[in-house]
Amino acid sequence: MNMKKIFTVLAFAAACLCASAQKPELKFNEDGTFKVLQFTDLHMVAGMEDQQAKTFARIRYAINEEKPDVIAVTGDVITGGRPCRPLLQNILDTLDSYGIPFFIVFGNHDREQDLSMVEMSTMIASGKHSINLLKGDGLLRDMRVPVACHDSEAPGLEIYAMDSHTSIQPKSPYDGKPIRYEWFTFDQVKWIRSEFEKSAKENGSVIPSVAFFHIPLPEFLEAWQNTTESYYTHNNVKGVRGEYGGHSRINSGMFAAMLESGSTMGVFCGHDHDSDFIVNHMGIALAYGRFSGDDTTYHHLLHGTRVIVFKEGQRAFKTWIREDNGMISYSAEYADGELR
């Protein structure tokens, strides 16, 4: 093995060791609140410094205004340009500079860069305040992250962060035809069911939970389309649906697993730049974040972020969109399966 290969192996091992070190723990505040700030679809492009500067300013503005307890970045962080390593490092350094725990889930475009997924995963998990973990293959792990009550180690909330895969046209195993976007795998559905069961057994009760990932579930479109039917009179949709919906055409049963668990309060995703609605679907709030990038791709909504504030000891949260102009839009409140 030559010296270059030895250095690469040692560097990777050091990064993995750093990524497996003690991660920041999440905890409710003394007033019983816990705030998540969701950025989605930053769509940064290496070499487009003007757009990068505006996106970094947006990140700083939202963090300074909202002062979150954790930052969620739901995919499509980098979408083009070469090389992307310095840009990704700049993003991670910016998030780290606030001393606030954060996590990132991959979007479809993150897989199209000049870094391998293992290299990107290692960088992300190595952030000082990153709560991301790596799997044995070096890729980001799907996670169940507890948020402890303010006065104990018992969880008052659990956050699931998951990989919803890519948009490279997967083909049907039956006729070989493209099926648009990928879907959650059987193993992922099996995993989350197992995690729900473990959590209930460990804690003696069902812990309220939420999930963050990039590509929306098929139920997002179903919920919007059913807002006028009598069965759905309590879903109280708020926000904009500006495009059809980039979900998979294959329904793998992820929503059913969440529904049957009795745990999931809400699902938060990105991917569709012209949608930011939240809707109640069978007692689970399905919500888009607001497009957080700049003019590197299509969007017809003002740039912004989604904010979610959870209440300790309750199946409840408040959420709103913070826009770049300082306006607060589409405030909603979820409590015990109802959205107001």
Q: What is the model's pLDDT at position 234?
A: 56
Confidence check: pLDDT of 280 > 90: yes
* HSE value, Cβ hemisphere, 13 Å, CA-based, for 121: 19
Residues in the chain: 340
- Beta-bridge mates of residue 78: 44
| Dihedral, CA of residue 332, residue 333, residue 339 and residue 340, to nearest 10 | -70
CA 133 to mean position of chain CA atoms: 14
Alpha-carbon distance of 301 to 286, in angstroms, equals 19
Closest by CA position to 262, among listed 216, 315, 316, 224: 315
Task: Put residue 44 in one of left, alpha, beta given phi > 0 → left and psi -120 to 50 → alpha.
Answer: beta
Q: Report the predicted TM-score, pTM, of the whole model to 2 decimal places.
A: 0.91
The letter for the amino acid at 159 is: I
Residue whose pair of structure tokens reads 């179903």 in the numeric block: 222
Confidence check: pLDDT of 170 > 90: no
How confident is residue 138, by pLDDT bands cut at 50, 70 and 90?
very high
Q: Does residue 297 sit in helix, strand or coil?
A: coil
Do 306 and 295 meet the contact criterion of CB atoms below 8 Å apart? no
Q: How far is CA 242 from CA 84, 217, 329, 340, in A?
A: 30, 17, 16, 21
The letter for the amino acid at 243 is: E
- Strands (DSSP E) found in 164-303: 209-212, 264-269, 278-281, 284-288
Q: What is the model's pLDDT at position 110?
A: 85
Arithmetic mean of pLDDT, 293-307:
93
- Name the token pair of 210: 């939420």
DSSP 8-state assignment for residue 154: S
- Name the token pair of 236: 């109280």
Q: Does residue 61 sit in helix, strand or coil?
A: helix
**Segment among 10-19, 107-116, 122-131, 142-151 with least mean pLDDT:** 10-19
3-state SS, 194-211, equals HHHHHHHHHHCCCCCEEE
Segment holding 104, helix H or strand E: strand 102-105
User: What separation, in Å, do the N-terminal and C-terminal C-alpha atoms of the chain show?
Assistant: 63
Rg (CA), the chain: 19
The dihedral through the CA atoms of 8, 13, 123, 139 has a sign that is positive
Mean pLDDT of the chain: 89
Confidence check: pLDDT of 316 > 90: yes
